[in-house]
Amino acid sequence: MKILSTVMLSLLVTSASVAAGPETSGQQELAQLKQQVIALNRELFLLEQSLLYPPETQLGLYLTVDTGKFMQLDSVEVLLDDEPVGGHLYTKTELEALQRGAVQPLLQTNVDAGKHSLTVVFVGKGPDNRDYRRAVNYEFEKAADGVRLELQVNDKSGNYQPEFRIVPWTQVH
């Protein structure tokens, strides 16, 4: 972050000196500098992500929802090896987006290689506006590659209950 601040400051100083020159060439150079800053910012973000979450230690959780009749989701709690690692409390706008097919990146963290236990607790309102709290467990073994898991909340019309599943992320939605 300190590097980014230094680069931004030097570019602003350079752009200020460029702006003092002729109008058209100064504006063109300023526009070019802005584009370079945007590109540099993107590269620094990607570098930061690769340093914070290297692929060999990465665990990503993504939430999808295909529900509405049997479950109104309020929150999600995530435990990894019986330790809380994340969660989310949903707003009305977020729920509407999820019901329209949005995919929420719920958690990205680092995990050591080996066996792990993931527990996800779904909290909300079930049929007849009853409070609903359901935990789903998933055992996985972390190898050299990153692990991406999809947390699915689906209506199951056969028994008029919501269905909760954790599955390996196999496709891009």
**Ramachandran quadrant class, 29 (left: phi over 0; alpha: psi -120 to 50; beta: rest):** alpha
Here the tokens at position 48 are: 């930061």
Supply the pLDDT for residue 173.
41
Instruction: Work out the average pLDDT over 106-113.
Output: 89
Supply the pLDDT for residue 2.
55
139 neighbors 97 (Cβ within 8 angstroms): no
100 neighbors 155 (Cβ within 8 angstroms): no
Which of 8-17, 20-29, 48-57 has the least mean pLDDT?
8-17
User: If pLDDT is split at 50, 70 and 90, which confidence band does 10 have?
Assistant: low
Instruction: Work out the average pLDDT over 78-94.
Output: 95
In terms of pLDDT, which residue wins out, 76 or 158?
76
Asked if the model's pLDDT at residue 166 lies above 90, the reply is yes
> CA dist 33 to 18, 28, 44, 64, 96, Å?
10, 9, 16, 40, 39
Mean pLDDT score of the chain, rounded to an integer? 82
Instruction: Work out the average pLDDT over 13-21.
Output: 51
* pTM (two decimals): 0.67
Q: What is the dihedral of CA 18, 21, 22, 25, to 10 degrees?
A: -20
* 83: β partners: 80
Asked if the model's pLDDT at residue 55 lies above 60, the reply is yes
